[in-house]
Structure 1
């Protein structure tokens, strides 16, 4: 009987591992295809990711008893992404983002004319979903058009390099933490995160940054090392931020859309914090 149970557990483990691997491959392929091939494919892939991730965030908040204006928040998120896409592809004037300012007031107008209670709270959580999810995704438009506005040519090398660093950091931190992790970063918030995993992930993130400078030739190796440090610091903060949200809501995963991986928010938690900071660094250093 014991042998039978062991075999069943091994079968389930292998099945889960296989499902997780297949999902991971599909996820990576979609990310790379969306970033590498064509602006329209980029818009479809990352616009869809934006919508589903922001929706997932609002659904998490609903479980906590909040009442975000999902329709208004999602519409504003997609609108901002589309405006940024139109600007970098010369489909819209450079100051088209100003359209978004009056559009933003609709969140508060919806609440003002609503019979629901908690106007300020509902508006705040709706706006939080926009800032947390839609803004980072929309900034990707500028990262794949590094010459905008002077030379708005689609070039996703920097973005793909950032993806590489994030994926290597997350993978190596997870593997090292699983095998050697004894000292937890924060037992209550994220008990699976260890200092050993963080150190290993940092080393491999820096090595990936150096490799990126060789593969892509631009920006400089110092800039890639700086981006690697940003990924380590803000990727970890992004992961901890989502862990805090899930722990307070008493949920394991943000969703079930990715078999074996949970939700999209679970996969993008690091990038949502990393992308804005990397964008600011690249802009300030003249690499965009």
Structure 2
């Protein structure tokens, strides 16, 4: 428990530092985290006997991330995203030279890794720039509400949890915990609205609700994936917490949805 608490504290401090030290550090840090998540994902897939194209996947991830984030700093045109096209087709061509019984499974998991472990971080980074320039308010508020949901779900689940939410994939999650997580996240969202006035308070409440629902779904999806390959943690990089993918499973589904919501109310 002590190790878990220390790791958690250090992790939170690093996260806050990445948000408060400027746009370049923010983008670089989350590009790094997305790559770590991709490495963990490919490593997990490899335990099943499949062989995703890791090197091409890592290169594609960096180019994809840089192509989107780079346009906020320099005249980095979106057309640079086209560089990924030959890389994507290269995955198919590379598979021709591998002696695999399941070639399209290797190809599919390579693309899935990019979609599942990298693209959500891109959406999260874009959220911080949605007003046209870097603003840490939304990025910080997102994680405060996500952490509030996780904390509330755990506390309410421990004290009141009786009805299982999705026992097949996550036996410990309960409907009481889920509702408690929403309540806690919405409460934190309401408090945030007093300090970050970029959006009206009701938008923060709606975002908190979205984050709670899709953050929980993200957790369940990752649990489903790990159970399907009989793995407990995605990695060991965070003592007491597992892997980076374990810590950011709530972001993977909620960040894209939050981006869509913010885009619709901003433009």
C-alpha contact 1:78 1:134 (8 A) present in aligned 2: no
1:128 equivalenced with 2:109 (yes/no): no
TM-score for both structures, normalised by structure 1: 0.88
Shift of 1:43: 2.6
Equivalent residue for 1:154, pick from 117, 134, 152: 134
Partners in 2 of 1:276 and 1:101 — Cα distance?
Answer: 22
272-281 vs 178-187, greater mean Cα deviation: 178-187
Contact 1:181–1:195, Cα closer than 8 Å, also in 2? yes
1:7 maps to none
Q: Shift in Å at residue 128 of structure 1? A: 0.1
Counterparts of 1:99 and 1:68, CA distance in 2? 20
Contact 2:68/2:78 (<8 A) preserved:
no
Confirm whether residue 83 of structure 1 aligns to residue 70 of structure 2: no
Could you say what secondary structure the match of 1:92 adopts? coil
CA contact 1:237–1:270 (8 Å) conserved in 2: yes
2:121 to 137, 152, 170: 137
Q: Are 1:170 and 2:154 an aligned pair?
A: no
Bigger relative CO (Cα 8 Å, ≥ 6 apart): 2
Task: Output the CA distance in 2 between the equivalents of 1:176 and 1:229.
Answer: 17
Measured on the aligned residues, the alpha-carbon RMSD in Å equals 1.5
> Structure 1 residue 183 and structure 2 residue 167: aligned?
no
Deviation at 1:104, TM superposition (A): 2.3
Equivalences for residues 1-288 of structure 1 within 5 A: 17-148=1-132, 153-286=133-266
How far off its partner does 1:79 sit? 1.4
- Give unpaired runs (5+ residues) of structure 2: none
Structure 1 residue 133, shift from structure 2 partner: 1.1
1:188 Cα deviation from its structure 2 partner? 2.0
Displacement of 1:141 in angstroms is: 2.9
- 2:68 and 2:188 map into 1 onto residues whose CA distance is 29
In 2, the alpha carbon distance for the partners of 1:172 and 1:124 equals 36
Q: In the TM superposition, what whole-angstrom CA distance separates every residue of 1:213-240 from its partner, at most 9, and x where no partner exists?
A: 1111011112111111111111111000
In the alignment, the residues of structure 2 paired with residue 72 and residue 122 of structure 1 have an alpha-carbon distance, to the nearest angstrom, of: 12
Q: CA deviation at 1:207?
A: 0.8
Pairs aligned (count): 267
Cα offset, 1:140, TM superposition: 2.7
CA distance in 2, matches of 1:93, 1:184: 48
